[in-house]
Amino acid sequence: MNLVTIAWKSIRQRALASSLTALSVALGVTLMVTVLVMHGVIFKTFNQPATGYDLIVGAKGSSLQLVLNTIFHLGKPVENIPYLYYKDLKANPRIEAAIPLALGDTTQQGGFRIMGTIPEFFGVEYMPGKKYGVYKGGRYISKPFDAVIGASVARENNWDIGSTFKPVHGVDDGLGDAHVHDEEFTVVGVLGRTGTPNDKGVFVHLDGFYMIEGHEKPADEAAAKAAALAKMKGEAVPAATGHDESEHGDDGHGDDAHDDHGHGADAHSDEPHDAHAGHHHHNHGPIPDEQKEVTAVLIRTKSPIVTPQLQGFINDQPEAQAVSPIQQISMLFSTFIDNVQLMLLVLITMIILVSGVGIFVSIYNSMSDRKREIAIMRALGARRGSVFAIILAESILLCVGGGILGVLLGHGLVFAAAPYVEAKSGIVMNPWAFEWFELILIPALVVLASLVGMVPGMTAYRTDVAKALSN
């Protein structure tokens, strides 16, 4: 019988005390593994998608809010910027791609965020070397009422190509103000899983987004904003232009027409009707660019050298701000998340150390009861070193056994929490994620077990055989 087998039999003799001691180690390791894995997942989530674009342009306000809302679909939009500003930006020779995003609606089922964008959105890499792809039989948006959905949306809503939905106004809690638009979009493509927040996104054609009732900026507000900006820049105030509901007249948007959703040929193009025969779109037809707005513009520059120049140029203008998503996320981690993780790891390390002390107390207290057992072993020929090794093996078995159980429980906890976290925060968690730090957990526990088993081992080593047997 080897020393490890003898140590295991000793542990089994004190099954309840040994189990509780190992469980205390397991719970500490479980917490540590959970914190490490979740921090790793959050770090990857907040860094990988952000590297697909060099800049994000949006309204003046919180830079971090602009990044979180645009890239990670968290929180409310800062504000909108004029569509004409996006067109000017797109013509800038330093820009390779400018992708507009217009937010404001969610899906009625599941509360997924709806984003109006252009077909070029799917041609830009969402992270280096990786482009979007649609499942077989699908395609990207090309007509006003086309929609492409993320993999999580398809799974959770059980939607596929051909599914239809009506947007709900609002992006606050997924339910908005419960106002359901009349316009209906048709799913024409399902994106392959990307492991990014876009898996929970619904992408509709920007033209269709602007055709939804209420998505055009009122003509008077658009004119007032244009005048204010022109005055701020010292330019001539532009003449008021616009598209207003009052201009339609009874033929185009009369009450009768709204009741049965029939619209005059003068007010609407044929394409939407041809592409979505049978749908009841509340078509408002094309609206002037002056009344259009976008929530953000994703920018990829032609060279990293021009990125800071372009950012400075945009930030000097009154219309918008340009932020680097990588810089904002790095600041978020360095000022908040990393500190929280460090605090949690220190706390959990202390818990594991306390568990080690528990192992020490458990084994040390058992020594008085085991002196006769140890004396018999010595009398039968066991050497002092063997007795010391058996006590040390007990400590290591308890620590390592608890550690392995903790690693399994930690990953099990992440696996169980992944769907809930994804549903509540939009952060896609890989339940099989593994952190390199876990590799040193078990060796560290062996060192800890050796230290806490040293004193009880020395007590066993020094046991007086004659005195123990006489007692």
- Are 306 and 210 in the same domain? yes
Instruction: Please tell me whether residues 299 and 420 are part of one structural domain.
Output: no
Amino acid residing at 113: R
The answer on pLDDT for 13 being more than 60 is yes
CB 257 within 8 A of CB 263: yes
Average pLDDT over residues 63-91: 86
Is 237 inside a domain boundary? no
**Mean pLDDT, rounded, of the chain:** 78
Residues 174 and 296 in one domain: yes
Residues 318 and 337 in one domain: no
From start to end of 15-166, where are the E strands?
55-58, 81-82, 95-107, 113-117, 146-149, 164-165
CA atoms within 13 A on the CB side of 135: 15
Same domain? For 455 and 350 the reply is yes
The answer to whether residue 269 sits within a structural domain is: no
Residues 89, 105 within the same domain: yes
> Could you tell me which of 46, 47, 67, 65 has the C-alpha nearest to residue 55?
67
**Are residues 77 and 296 in contact, defined by beta-carbon separation less than 8 angstroms?**
yes
pLDDT at 98: 92
Q: Are residues 158 and 294 in the same domain?
A: yes
355 and 422 co-located in one domain: yes
Please say if the pLDDT value at position 363 is more than 80.
Answer: no
Answer yes or no: do 292 and 389 share one domain. Answer: no
Q: Which residues contact 447 (CB under 8 A, 6 or more apart)?
A: none
- Split at pLDDT 50, 70, 90, the class of 365 is confident
**The pLDDT value given to residue 295:** 92
Integer Cα distance of 148 and 186 in angstroms: 8
- What are the DSSP E strand ranges found in 254-368? 293-294, 296-301, 321-323
Looking at residue 158, its amino acid is: N
Contact 137, 407 (CB under 8 A): no
The total number of structural domains that make up the chain: 2
Share of the chain above pLDDT 70, in %: 80
What residues make up the domain containing 417?
3-47+332-470
130 within a domain of the structure (yes/no)? yes
Tell me the C-alpha distance between 421 and 34, whole Å: 13
What is the model's pLDDT at position 263?
40
Convert 228-263 to b/e letters by CB count within 10 Å (16 or more is b).
Answer: ebeeeeeeeeeeeebbeeeebeeebbeeebeeeeeb
In a domain? residue 390: yes
Last residue of a domain, one of 265, 294, 323: 323
| Its pTM surpasses 0.75 | no
278 in a domain, yes or no? no
Answer whether residue 247 is part of any domain.
no
Predicted confidence band of residue 250 (pLDDT cuts 50, 70, 90)? very low
Provide the 10 A C-beta neighbour count for residue 83. Answer: 21
Give the end of a domain, one of 294, 323, 352.
323
Query: Amino acid identity of 282?
Result: H
**Residue 40 forms part of a structural domain:** yes
Angle at the Cα of 17 (from 374 to 26), degrees rounded to 5? 120
Judged by DSSP in three states, 449 sits in helix
pLDDT: is 252 or 126 the higher one? 126
Q: Which two tokens stand for residue 260?
A: 């049965």
Distance, in Å, from the CA atom of 133 to the CA atom of 148, rounded to the nearest integer, reads 11
In the block, tokens 């706390």 appear at: 347
User: Residues 6 or more apart from 348 whose CB is under 8 A from it?
Assistant: 28, 31, 32, 35
Count of C-beta atoms within a 10 Å radius of residue 37:
25
Per-residue tokens: 292 = 């259009």
Q: What is the pLDDT of residue 424?
A: 65
Whether residue 273 is predicted with pLDDT greater than 90 in this model: the reply is no
Rounded Cα distance between 67 and 50, Å, is 9
Same domain as 153, residue 8: no
Cα 419 to Cα 428: distance, rounded to the nearest angstrom: 8
Arithmetic mean of pLDDT, 338-363: 77
In a domain, 241, yes or no: no
Same domain? For 63 and 93 the reply is: yes
Amino acid 48: pLDDT: 61
Is the same domain home to 308 and 399? Answer: no
Q: Select from 389, 447, 458 the least CA-distant residue to 4.
A: 389
